[in-house]
Amino acid sequence: MMNESNARGPASAAANSARPSVIQLVFREKGALYAAYIPLFAEGGLFVPTTREYRLGEDIYLLLSLPDDPQRYPVAGKIGWVTPANASGGRTQGVGVRFPTDEKTRLLKVKIEEILGTSISSAKPTQTI
């Protein structure tokens, strides 16, 4: 078991080369969720800080916890972009996970956007594009 953490939002990962990796992603506050959410992906998506190397299109499994919500949401996503170590602008190393196009995840995207409310259209910088 490999543990990863980041000051903006802790994430831990258990890696197994035979299966997609599983990352628990816990958002305790709306600001951290805003910084990680990727509205440019039509299906929605999240930035996951990680030092593990991934390839575009690779499968990844998230166990997602949202602010003030005891439920954990499983998401079988795909890597949509990679921010490498030592990226320009001091950006955090990690991956952009694209949500799948199923009904359950569509409802999760709606829930995230409801939590973010009007801040989703803010000009405040994020960890994403």
Q: Check: CB of residue 93 under 8 Å from CB of residue 49.
A: yes
pLDDT tens figures, 82-125: 999 988 888 889 999 999 999 999 999 999 999 998 666 555 55
Q: Check: CB of residue 31 under 8 Å from CB of residue 42.
A: no
The whole model's pTM is what?
0.76
Bridge partners of 48?
A: 95
Domain boundaries, the chain: 22-117
Exposed/middle/buried for residue 31 (C-beta within 10 Å: 0-12, 13-18, 19+): middle
CATH superfamily of 22-117: predicted glycosyltransferase like domains (2.40.10.220)
